Structure 1
Amino acid sequence: MTTTLDSKKTALIVLDIQPTIISMIPGSEVVIPHIVKLVDAARAKGVQIIWVTVGFNEEDWAGVSPHNKAFSGAKAAMGESLPEPFKAGGAGASLVPELKAQKGDVELRKNRFGPFSSTDLHEQLTKRGIDSIVVAGVKTSGCVLSTVRYAADHDFKIVVASDCVKDKDQAIDDVLIGKVFPEQAHVITSDEVAGLFQ
């Protein structure tokens, strides 16, 4: 692992830390205090903070493809009308109360698991000269995995804050954090990440 992260070239990407998603993943609330602390450490060093939340507008919901197993399944279960918990701009699709965006932060809304596929995240990183990302969020096998895979394919230096990600099943976390992510990312605790910002 590199001994430092250049704060001017690093972004902390926080994924899906919102009431609707947290409520769907039992135990995931344990990551919130770690993320709060990591965000504070990143801000203190001038690291770019990027908040990504999942939320749908009426057009997004109407356009969910039957080929998309996860989202079409959710739509079948919840109905054709856009459910309030997933409504873009609503309380369920906003950040949890413990976290607040500040001036200079980037806020992005996605309507797929990965943030790169349905937002301009790549362009936001590129125009700022960012070549390193720190990833935090839930769930590990969804948005976090998608982010790591895309970023690796586009040659970003990737750090996964291991205590800032969570899945429904501890066994999934163990495999991804312990075996899969280390092939493409540095996997360390949030305290260790904070110590790398320069």
Structure 2
Amino acid sequence: MSNSKTALLVMDVQNGIVPHIGDNLEEALATYQKAIHSARKHDIPVIYVRVGFSEGYPEISPNNKGFSQISKYGGMTVNDDATQIHEAVKPEGNEPVVTKYRVSAFAGSNLEVILRSQQIDTIVLSGIATSGVVLSTLREAADKDFKIKVLTDACFDGDPEVHKVLIEKVFPKQADTLTVNDWTSTLD
């Protein structure tokens, strides 16, 4: 099976967001590590996505209900520890780290340029949170005509019920949903 047109996106697995996974942190990070290891083993590009802002928060509108709180309380700038990719899943070599300024991985970032320049037509999504970056990126990627796979056990949300509804009812309308083990077994 040729994987030359597939990329794995590891989204918002950064220091300031990873603690929101909850009690099963080590197990969750191991799931990401397995997906990343398998992608690298099969020469599938791994692209990291993080949210971060410039000093002074020029990207944040006071109209943005979610992000406007960040500009009031500080933190989450591109140089803050909170916006750095978590050590357990850190990039290697030339793996890109894309900085986004909104919820979707495409919003204000160079992600689409990277995907198109590498002729990637299939993206495999993983990230925190299912109802945030994963949902928004899936919707935008579908509108951009990418083929999409969602790694169900490498997506986490603070609300387990919302996660379940998205994974079981919403995502299958625009993506293939499968576990990391199921995905990696298709690569061999």
TM-score by structure 1 length? 0.88
Number of aligned residue pairs = 187
> Contact 1:50–1:107 (CA<8 Å) still a contact in 2?
yes
Shift of 1:55: 1.3
Task: Give the secondary-structure state (helix, strand or coil) at the position aligned to 1:158.
Answer: strand
Uncovered stretches (5+) of structure 1, i.e. residues with no partner: none
* Larger fraction in helix: 1
> Contact 2:124–2:151 (CA<8 Å) still a contact in 1?
yes
Uncovered stretches (5+) of structure 2, i.e. residues with no partner: none
What does 1:93-108 correspond to in 2, within 5 Å? 93-108=83-98
Task: Give the secondary-structure state (helix, strand or coil) at the position aligned to 2:97.
Answer: strand
Say which is worse superposed, 25-34 or 135-144, in terms of deviation: 25-34
> Contact 2:123–2:146 (CA<8 Å) still a contact in 1?
yes
Task: Give the secondary-structure state (helix, strand or coil) at the position aligned to 1:19.
Answer: coil
- Aligned equivalent of 1:48: 45
Code of the aligned partner of 2:97: E
Question: Could you say if the C-alpha distance between residues 189 and 111 of structure 1 is closer, same or farther in structure 2, counting changes exceeding 3 Å?
Answer: same
User: What is the percentage of aligned positions where both structures have the same residue?
Assistant: 34
Shift of 1:63: 4.0
Whole-angstrom CA distance in 2 between matches of 1:180 and 1:48: 26
Whole-angstrom CA distance in 1 between matches of 2:115 and 2:13: 20
What does 1:12-161 correspond to in 2, within 5 Å? 12-27=8-23, 29=25, 30-59=27-56, 61-76=57-72, 78=73, 82-83=74-75, 86-161=76-151
> Contact 2:15–2:85 (CA<8 Å) still a contact in 1?
yes
Larger RCO: 1 or 2 (CA < 8 Å, sep 6+): 1
1:185 aligns to 2:181 (yes or no): no
Shift of 1:25: 4.7
Code of the aligned partner of 1:72: S
